[in-house]
Amino acid sequence: MGWEAVARSGTHERAAVDRGTQERPVRRRTPRRASLDSAAPGLDVVRRASAHPGDADRSRVAPSPPPTREYLRLVREHAVDAVAFQGLARSMRVWLDAPGAEPASAAVAYFDTGRAWVAAGGPVAPPGDRAGVASRFVDAARRAGRRAAFFGVEELSGLEGWPALHLGMEPSASPGDWAATVRRTRGLREQLRRARAKGVRAKVTPGVELAPGAPLRAAVDALVARWLLSRRIEPMGFLVTVDPFTLPDEHRYVVALRGDEVVGLLSAVPAYAGRGWLVEHLLSLHDSPNGTAETLLEALHRSLLADGRGDDRVSLGLSPLSGQPRPWQRLARSATRPLFDFEGLHRFKARLHPTEWRAVWLLTPPGTCRLVALADTLAAFAGGAPVRFALRSLLLHPRGLLWLLAVASTPWIALLVGLGAAPRFGLAGYTSTALAVWVAFDCLVAAMLFRIALRPSLRAVVLLAGALSVDVTLSALHLATVGLGQTWEQSILRLATVLLPAVGVAALGGIAASWTRGARRARRAGP
């Protein structure tokens, strides 16, 4: 998928299915943080041993060659989707298809959410057998009690009859195109100049220099740690797990340096059959000099040109919900902006002036609801625990909590407006004028919450907490004056006028403290 990528244990967990009985695969939760010290992925491999109708699916761990090598061989021979290489990530399993032959003739890398097998791209198979392999994978998933879906599919040939949901667009350019684009695009040249003026230089780095224990590796690990701390939501799994050191000899690494300080990292993985590369990680920090990302890309393109690969396709990864999204997709893009800025990501990639935009699809088996498949995909990105992921993102991350407070204030304001229009403003013990002032104040608070969620500001959070503290004080004095009232409706509403802003004050205080602690952790994680 590109640009973000969690590690689990390197041991191979066995998933076995006997002739007559099925053993459900062990459900694993993706760890919150990537382990950046291990380079060998652990893949669960399920092999289909027979293709004869009526035969039981005899799944077993492949004995030899090692699963990583076997899947990598198939990716080199047949993969047409940019995300195929990411099937080697340590959070993934691999289903091998070997209908009556050794070695395997096709494979599918997937993430097991506990309810579904969500594949990374389409089947890695010979062009004429993609549909057959996809169907056998779906059958294997059903026998394991799982649904199935294929995420990140670019090439639809052989799968034309499968229902497809448009996910977004994937921009790309060749090194030759990039050089021409830089010559004619003033904005790109200016960004590169700014980075040079700040002393930023890009270094194409072989994997051996990033081996565990190497000095440069320690600095890169610190950069990754700071980058993870800066995210608005919980660390994600599936294709956006941050683990750039899986099979390092297959990667191209570019490190951005300012003096001896690492200020950026680019990690590109090969798309063999498509003769190209996927930029899976492009990491820079908020305090990295302007133009750091462009400098990293410039160095990647120059290295490919120097190697005679000027026609390679360099993909920048999926830009989700871009292109021509449906109305509900546009709504989702806007509603989740404080947690993930889809529009900002698209603008940044478009600013790099790619020469090609390819559609990316989510494919589902015929007869399967695409929205269910989309929910399964979101569960995969959430590490198999979507509810836990959502709650932690909303409650433990400042922007998520701000967004939650802003959204929750909307029905409260609507209730107050309804009381004034009924008119039943006496329930709260206020006059109509006082209630109107109160509604106006709450509207202002909600607007500020939305704004801070989009553009964080510690000063604004502190000021808003102070304003709400005054509101709590005045509401408490009012309650002491008018009392709880004679009905349960009056009691609940009047207590709410004090308790709700008090909750807001506590939440904003927690957010301010969290931002302060995060800034300190980031400084400690820095070089």
Residue pLDDT, tens place only, 65-88: 446 788 888 999 888 888 999 888
Among 330, 357, 384, the domain boundary falls at 357
- Tell me the two tokens of residue 34: 């990537």
pLDDT at 52: 36
Q: Residue 158 region, left (φ>0) first, then alpha (ψ -120 to 50), else beta?
A: left
109 is a domain residue: no
| 409 and 510 fall within a common domain | yes
Alpha-carbon span 183 to 353, nearest angstrom: 12
Residue 413 lies in a domain: yes
Do 225 and 299 lie in one domain? The reply is yes
Within a domain: 209: yes
291 and 411 inside one domain: no
Q: What share of the chain in percent tops pLDDT 70? A: 82
Query: Within this chain, do residues 186 and 273 fall inside the same structural domain, yes or no?
Result: yes
The pLDDT-based confidence of 101 (bands split at 50, 70, 90) is low
Residues 215 and 337 in one domain: yes
Give the pLDDT score at 10: 32
Q: What is the pLDDT of residues 393-410, one digit of tens each?
A: 776 666 777 888 888 888
Percentage with pLDDT > 90 across the chain: 28
Q: What is the pLDDT of residues 471-490, one digit of tens each?
A: 899 889 888 888 888 888 88
Contact 255, 200 (CB under 8 A): no
Residue 188 inside a domain? The answer is yes
Decide if pLDDT at 48 tops 60: no
Q: In the predicted model, what is the mean pLDDT of residues 227-240?
A: 76
| pLDDT recorded at residue 133 | 93
411 lies in which domain range?
397-525
Mark which of 326, 357, 388 sits at the end of a domain: 357
- Classified as helix, coil or strand, 82 is coil
Is residue 368 domain-resident? no
Both 204 and 335 in one domain: the answer is yes
Angstrom distance (rounded) from CA 301 to CA 313? 10
Distances from the Cα of 364 to the Cα of 94, 125, 135, 162, angstroms: 18, 17, 10, 6
Interval 486-524: pLDDT, tens: 888 888 888 888 898 898 888 888 888 877 776 666 555
Q: Does residue 268 sit in the same domain as residue 416?
A: no
Q: What is the mean pLDDT of residues 422-444?
A: 79
**Mean pLDDT of all residues in 309-335:** 84
- Number of domains the chain is built from: 2
Residues 349 and 407 in one domain: no
- On whether both 334 and 443 belong to a single domain, the answer is no
- 339-389 pLDDT, tens digit per residue, is 777 888 888 899 888 999 999 999 999 888 888 998 999 889 888 777 787
Q: Is the pLDDT of residue 61 over 50?
A: no
Q: Is 247 exposed, middle or buried (0-12, 13-18, 19+ CB in 10 A)?
A: middle
User: Which sign does the torsion angle of CA 326, 329, 331, 333 carry?
Assistant: negative
pLDDT averaged over every residue in the chain: 79
Instruction: Report yes or no on 214 lying in a domain.
Output: yes
125 within domain boundaries: no
| Confidence check: pLDDT of 147 > 60 | yes
Task: Work out the average pLDDT over 212-220.
Answer: 90
Instruction: Among 304, 326, 357, identify where a domain stops.
Output: 357
Same domain as 477, residue 347: no
The predicted pLDDT at position 99 comes to 58
27 located within any domain:
no
How many other C-beta atoms are found inside a 10 Å radius of the C-beta of residue 221?
18
Same domain, 235 and 333: yes
Query: Vertex 199, ends 197 and 201: CA angle to 5°?
Result: 115
Neighbours of 411 (CB within 10 A): 9
CATH number of domain containing 203: 3.40.630.30
407 and 353 inside one domain: no
Q: Residue range 139-161: average pLDDT? A: 92
Mean pLDDT of 177-199: 92
